[in-house]
């Protein structure tokens, strides 16, 4: 049967190629994901491994809080003296280097005051290196010399190359204050990594870095080398008694592994996220393969009957069709595997365009990538071929001598509607439990949502054949009005074989349903968030960081407060802390005298007068935090900072803010208490009211003040509201691009169906041409048929997406999310469906128009 299968594939090259494309694109997405994320992981592993080459032990502050902007707890300089005095120590050096939490931001600024690098929130590292102990440094000079003294800096090679800087030039650097100018004494590279993405680094000597980042008398870490005969493990044992409780000691290898593990968790999330879209593309591809092979089997009825007549068994026919699927799947998987190299580069370019640039190393093409891609692609194709193969076994030998023989109807066909409705019902139950049930673990919730969504798609696809005729009557009306006889024939052709049309439309339905979910849910979150912010904030202007979410230097707020024309300014500090013993929570420091001017508290217990009672130990907390921590007004609770300091606070009041707005933390204390408890305090917002009429363009003096700080940005009230939802737009754009793969796969499915339909109707087309149909009318007929099929997919997919979005917004209504229907995007999606139909019809319509009439009339 292998020979029969190969000859059959070679005899139907176009059909085989179009079928294979459905697998190629999905596997290319999977392959590209692995190539991209493995490359990222290699780069990060190199960074962390090379950071500790030549280092036997590392003393570093503990990461007491995972997301604190203060970073790790500092290590006192006195510890270095104690370590250096040990007989087992050959060398030791302290450094300012915290790559994980980026607690030392150093923004490079050009001569025009514009930021260099750091796009999309990429880190801007500040580093303090002891040039007398370079054995511990992961950096190596490519030119020049190391910085010595407060006026010198070394910058990274990427920045120097892309921005045209060289040794002797001057560059601005903004740390925790205004921009200061430095002389570039050297250009450095980070180990062997090709690129550090959008990140930059500025390297100073240690004393300068300590001053810039307000870490006088402290290091981020101390690197230690052991004398000959002392193992890293033995060195760690000797160092442990010397370090404070807020620090820890690890071998260099252990520290590199720990640092890499944190980053790899993030890369794993990116991997699973992108693989999900590859899975969607393969799911859509399975519909395409199933439909194509079903049509092919129906067209080869006489061929299979002849095989049966010549003695072939049902098993041999079954094996022949499944083998055909296996060969197509294997070859398509191989092509998709290597196409993934290009897709990986394309996805990296997409990340860069969206400001999500990550470090790069040499391209990684792992064995795991090869095995997974070949296995998944082949398996999906083989599984999709099983039902068509079973249909082929039902061909009776007598069909070989019958003209126009067709496949017998399955004995289960009458039960299809009941199966479809049952599947839809179970899908809705699964979705309802996954969305609305409380107390479910995350894995269980995601499983229910995934199974429910797939089941819903399958159920609607099974029921779609019953909906084709009424839907075609509606969406085919324009073709009937504009296309004349060709349009009428197109509509009739679309309902001639409802199962085929439904299966073709179902592939497009899935892609359109998912982009509709993205659009509707995104619009709901955006509108609800903007409404919540408008309800809570009233200010002429708001100063934020450039990306709107990270904290910025407190010096910005101080400069703004003293600017001419500013009536009132209120700074809101922000950091993370460990509250009530176990709750890691956002903490904000507010000015009790001014915050109520700009922020509306929805008090549950207390009033604006409560703010005056904060003092140095008072706190107001959100109602949800109070419930989770079991606190009430008057209760005391401890608050632990990233530096290891613990303070006792008293709950003075509770309020219930919008969880969507997320402007203030779960705990708010006075700015005085905040500055005394948190090292290197930074602002999250600075709210400003100016004298005179509010709104309009910013006063020049205020704008000039903020311009001195490159990481700060000035917004009027309307701009601020919009900026808080800017990340929604970035995420939506990313999702649209990734979901486009599934739409492209469905496009190939439509091309496939139309090509096969033209083959099947060769004689019919010849007769139409013989009785007067022109080439243009033939093209128009195929084009209208394709558009009708695409619109049926849109008519199924868009309402399905709206339904799924409605369920999700209902589940999120407890957080203030309301349902919002974005009409314009839905219209655009419908037009995309029409465009897909037009594009899919190009090749089939051209073939239909070029048929030789006499040859077509003789076609069997």
Distance CA 441, CA 382 (A): 34
Both 571 and 493 in one domain: the answer is no
pLDDT, greater one: 152 or 411: 152
Domain that holds residue 761: 467-537+720-860
Q: How confident is the model at residue 619, as a pLDDT? A: 94
Domain for residue 253, yes or no? no
Domain for residue 436, yes or no? no
H or E, element range at 570 = strand 566-579
**Confidence class for position 543, pLDDT limits 50, 70, 90:** very high
Distance CA 257, CA 802 (A): 45
Distance CA 256, CA 136 (A): 13
The pTM of the full predicted model, rounded to 2 decimals, is: 0.78
Q: How confident is the model at residue 410, as a pLDDT? A: 61
Both 69 and 213 in one domain: the answer is yes
Both 322 and 301 in one domain: the answer is yes
Distance CA 436, CA 428 (A): 12
Both 202 and 330 in one domain: the answer is no
Task: Give the rounded distance of the alpha carbon of 108 from its chain centre.
Answer: 28
Both 218 and 130 in one domain: the answer is yes
Distance CA 451, CA 770 (A): 52
HSE-CB for 57 with a 13 A CA cutoff: 29
Q: Is the pLDDT of residue 510 over 70?
A: yes
Q: How confident is the model at residue 238, as a pLDDT? A: 92
Q: Is the pLDDT of residue 834 over 70?
A: yes
State how far the alpha carbon of 530 is from the alpha carbons of 475, 660, 717, 734, in Å.
Answer: 37, 9, 11, 21
Both 108 and 236 in one domain: the answer is yes
Q: What percent of the chain has pLDDT over 70?
A: 89
DSSP string for residues in 338-406: HHHHHHHHHHHHHHHHTT----B-S----HHHHHHHHHHHHHHHHHHHHHHHHHHHT--GGGGGSTT--
**522: phi then psi, degrees, rounded to nearest 5:** -60, -45
Pairing of strands 247-251, 636-640: unpaired
Q: Is the pLDDT of residue 395 over 70?
A: no
What are 7's two structure tokens? 């000859």
Both 186 and 313 in one domain: the answer is no
Q: Which residue shows structure tokens 């004349």?
A: 484
Q: How confident is the model at residue 63, as a pLDDT? A: 79
**Angle between the N-to-C axes of helices 823-840 and 775-811, in degrees from 0 to 180, rounded to the nearest 10:** 150
Domain for residue 428, yes or no? no
Q: What is the mean pLDDT of residues 661-690?
A: 91
Domain for residue 462, yes or no? no
**Confidence class for position 556, pLDDT limits 50, 70, 90:** very high
Q: How confident is the model at residue 476, as a pLDDT? A: 84
Q: Is the pLDDT of residue 744 over 70?
A: yes
Q: How confident is the model at residue 405, as a pLDDT? A: 47
Give the residues across from 583 on adjacent strands: 579
**Confidence class for position 9, pLDDT limits 50, 70, 90:** low
Q: How confident is the model at residue 608, as a pLDDT? A: 92
pLDDT tens digits for range 431-441: 888 888 777 77
HSE-CB for 598 with a 13 A CA cutoff: 26
Both 222 and 279 in one domain: the answer is no
Out of 681, 710, 739, pick the residue that ends a domain.
710
**Confidence class for position 817, pLDDT limits 50, 70, 90:** confident
Give the residues across from 543 on adjacent strands: 686, 714
Both 28 and 96 in one domain: the answer is no
Distance CA 758, CA 851 (A): 10
Is the distance from CB of 277 to CB of 739 less than 8 angstroms? yes
Q: What is the mean pLDDT of residues 347-374?
A: 75
Domain for residue 647, yes or no? yes
Q: How confident is the model at residue 154, as a pLDDT? A: 95
Q: Which of 183, 147, 189, 151 is nearest to 166 (CA)?
A: 183
Domain for residue 441, yes or no? no
Distance CA 280, CA 746 (A): 11
**Confidence class for position 622, pLDDT limits 50, 70, 90:** very high
What residues contact residue 401 under an 8 Å CB cut-off, 6+ apart?
A: none
Both 35 and 81 in one domain: the answer is no
Number of Cβ within 10 Å of residue 470's Cβ equals: 11
Q: How confident is the model at residue 843, as a pLDDT? A: 80
Q: Is the dihedral of CA 149, 151, 155, 161 positive or negative?
A: negative
Q: How confident is the model at residue 400, as a pLDDT? A: 45
Q: How confident is the model at residue 591, as a pLDDT? A: 94
What residues contact residue 795 under an 8 Å CB cut-off, 6+ apart?
A: 471, 474, 475
Q: How confident is the model at residue 401, as a pLDDT? A: 46
pLDDT tens digits for range 574-620: 998 888 766 788 999 999 999 999 999 999 999 999 999 999 999 99
Out of 358, 376, 408, pick the residue that ends a domain.
408
pLDDT, greater one: 638 or 412: 638
Q: What is the mean pLDDT of residues 347-364?
A: 67
What are 25's two structure tokens? 């694109």
Q: How confident is the model at residue 412, as a pLDDT? A: 62
Q: How confident is the model at residue 695, as a pLDDT? A: 46
Q: Is the pLDDT of residue 860 over 80?
A: no
Number of Cβ within 10 Å of residue 216's Cβ equals: 10
Q: What is the mean pLDDT of residues 622-639?
A: 91
Domain for residue 224, yes or no? yes
Going through 656-733 in order, the beta strands assigned E by DSSP cover 667-670, 682-690, 712-716
- 719 by Cβ neighbours in 10 Å (0-12 / 13-18 / 19+) ranks as middle
Q: How confident is the model at residue 23, as a pLDDT? A: 83
**Confidence class for position 250, pLDDT limits 50, 70, 90:** very high
Q: How confident is the model at residue 283, as a pLDDT? A: 83
**Angle between the N-to-C axes of helices 442-475 and 252-299, in degrees from 0 to 180, rounded to the nearest 10:** 30
Out of 710, 740, 763, pick the residue that ends a domain.
710
Q: How confident is the model at residue 841, as a pLDDT? A: 84
Q: How confident is the model at residue 696, as a pLDDT? A: 45
What are 692's two structure tokens? 């005179």
Selection from 130-144, 589-603, 766-780 with the highest mean pLDDT: 589-603
Distance CA 174, CA 115 (A): 10
Q: Is the pLDDT of residue 698 over 60?
A: no
Is the distance from CB of 26 to CB of 336 less than 8 angstroms? yes
Is the distance from CB of 206 to CB of 129 less than 8 angstroms? yes
Average per-residue pLDDT for the chain:
83
pLDDT tens digits for range 797-813: 999 999 999 988 888 88
Pairing of strands 583-590, 667-670: parallel
Q: What is the mean pLDDT of residues 18-33?
A: 82
pLDDT tens digits for range 93-114: 999 987 766 678 888 988 888 8
Q: What is the mean pLDDT of residues 5-22?
A: 65
Q: Is the pLDDT of residue 319 over 60?
A: yes
Both 208 and 183 in one domain: the answer is yes
Going through 117-165 in order, the beta strands assigned E by DSSP cover 124-129, 139-144, 152-156
Both 745 and 857 in one domain: the answer is yes
List alpha helices for 497-594, DSSP H.
498-536, 554-561
Distance CA 227, CA 488 (A): 90
Give the residues across from 544 on adjacent strands: 713
Domain for residue 82, yes or no? yes
Q: Is the pLDDT of residue 654 over 90?
A: yes
State how far the alpha carbon of 58 is from the alpha carbons of 83, 96, 376, in Å.
Answer: 11, 13, 44
What are 678's two structure tokens? 């948190």
Domain count, the chain: 4
Angle among Cα 10, 11, 13 to the nearest 5 degrees reads 60
């Amino acid at each position: 049967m292998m020979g029969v299968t190969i000859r059959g594939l070679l005899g139907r090259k176009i059909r085989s190629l179009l079928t294979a494309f459905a697998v190629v694109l999905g596997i290319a997405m999977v392959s590209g994901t692995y190539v991209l994320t493995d490359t990222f992981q290699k780069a990060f592993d190199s960074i962390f491994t090379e950071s500790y080459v030549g280092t036997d032990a590392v003393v570093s502050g503990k990461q007491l809080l995972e997301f604190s902007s203060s970073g790790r707890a500092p290590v006192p300089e006195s510890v270095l003296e104690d370590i250096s005095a040990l007989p087992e120590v050959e060398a030791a050096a302290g450094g300012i280097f915290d790559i994980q939490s980026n607690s030392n931001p150093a923004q490079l600024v050009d001569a025009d005051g514009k930021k260099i690098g750091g796009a999309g929130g990429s880190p801007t590292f500040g580093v303090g290196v002891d040039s007398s102990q370079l054995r511990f440094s992961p950096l190596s000079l490519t030119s020049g010399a190391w910085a010595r003294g407060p006026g010198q800096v070394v910058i990274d090679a990427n920045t120097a190359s892309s921005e045209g800087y060289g040794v002797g030039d001057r560059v601005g650097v903004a740390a925790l204050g205004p921009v200061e100018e430095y002389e570039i004494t050297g250009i450095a590279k980070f180990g062997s990594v090709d690129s550090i993405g959008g990140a930059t680094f500025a390297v100073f000597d240690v004393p300068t870095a300590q001053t810039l980042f307000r870490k006088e008398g402290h290091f981020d870490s101390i690197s230690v080398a052991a004398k000959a005969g002392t193992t890293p493990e033995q060195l760690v044992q000797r160092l442990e008694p010397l370090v404070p409780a807020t620090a820890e000691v690890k071998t260099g290898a252990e520290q590199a592994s720990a640092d890499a593990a944190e980053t790899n968790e993030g890369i794993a999330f990116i991997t699973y996220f992108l693989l999900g879209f590859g899975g969607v593309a393969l799911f859509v591809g399975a519909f395409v393969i199933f439909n194509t092979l079903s049509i092919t089997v129906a067209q080869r009825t006489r061929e299979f009957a002849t095989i049966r007549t010549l003695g072939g068994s049902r098993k041999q026919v079954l094996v022949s069709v499944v083998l055909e699927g296996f060969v197509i799947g294997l070859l398509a998987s191989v092509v998709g595997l290597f196409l993934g190299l290009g897709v990986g580069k394309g996805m990296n370019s997409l990340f860069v365009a969206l400001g999500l640039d990550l470090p790069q190393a040499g391209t990684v093409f792992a064995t795991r990538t090869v095995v997974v891609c070949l296995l998944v692609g082949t398996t999906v194709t083989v599984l999709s071929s099983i039902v068509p193969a079973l249909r082929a076994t039902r061909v009776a030998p007598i069909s070989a001598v019958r003209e126009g023989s067709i496949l017998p109807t399955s004995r289960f066909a009458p039960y299809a509607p009941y199966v479809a409705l049952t599947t839809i019902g179970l899908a809705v139950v699964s979705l309802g439990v996954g969305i609305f049930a409380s107390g479910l673990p995350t894995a269980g919730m995601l499983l229910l949502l995934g199974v429910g969504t797939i089941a819903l798609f399958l159920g609607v696809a099974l029921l779609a054949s019953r909906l084709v005729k009424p839907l075609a009557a509606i969406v085919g009306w324009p073709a009937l009005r504009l296309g004349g006889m060709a349009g009428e024939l197109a509509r009739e052709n679309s309902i001639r074989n409802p199962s085929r049309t439904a299966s073709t439309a179902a592939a497009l339905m899935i892609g359109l349903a998912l982009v509709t979910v993205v659009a509707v849910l995104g619009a709901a979150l955006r509108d609800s968030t903007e409404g919540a912010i408008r309800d809570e904030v009233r200010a002429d202007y708001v100063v934020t960081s450039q990306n709107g979410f990270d904290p910025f230097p407190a010096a910005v707020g101080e400069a703004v407060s003293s600017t001419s024309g500013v009536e009132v300014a209120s700074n809101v500090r922000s950091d993370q802390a460990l509250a009530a013993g176990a709750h890691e929570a956002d903490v904000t420091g507010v000015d009790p005298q001014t915050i109520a001017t700009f922020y509306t508290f929805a008090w549950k217990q207390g009033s604006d007068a409560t703010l005056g009672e904060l003092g140095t130990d008072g706190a107001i907390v959100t109602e949800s935090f109070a419930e989770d921590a079991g606190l009430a007004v008057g209760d005391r609770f401890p608050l632990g900072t990233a530096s290891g300091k613990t303070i006792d606070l008293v709950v003075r009041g509770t309020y219930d803010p919008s969880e969507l707005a997320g402007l203030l933390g779960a705990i708010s204390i006075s700015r005085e208490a905040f500055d005394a408890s948190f090292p290197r305090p930074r602002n999250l917002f600075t709210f400003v009211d100016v004298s005179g009429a509010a709104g309009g363009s910013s006063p020049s003096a205020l704008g000039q003040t903020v311009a001195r700080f490159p990481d700060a940005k000035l917004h009027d009230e309307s701009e601020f509201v919009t900026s808080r939802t800017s990340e929604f737009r970035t995420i939506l754009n990313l999702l649209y691009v990734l979901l486009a793969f599934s739409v492209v796969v469905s496009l190939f499915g439509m091309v496939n169906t139309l090509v096969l339909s033209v083959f099947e109707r060769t004689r019919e087309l010849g007769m139409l041409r013989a009785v007067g149909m022109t080439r243009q009318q033939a093209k128009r007929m195929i084009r209208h048929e394709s558009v009708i099929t695409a619109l049926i997919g849109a008519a199924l997919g868009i309402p399905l997406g709206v339904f799924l979005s409605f369920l999700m917004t209902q589940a999120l209504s407890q957080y203030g999310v309301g349902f919002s229907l974005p009409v314009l995007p839905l219209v655009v999606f419908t037009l995309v469906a029409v465009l897909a139909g037009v594009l899919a019809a190009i090749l089939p319509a051209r073939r239909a128009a070029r048929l030789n009439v006499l040859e077509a009339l003789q076609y069997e």
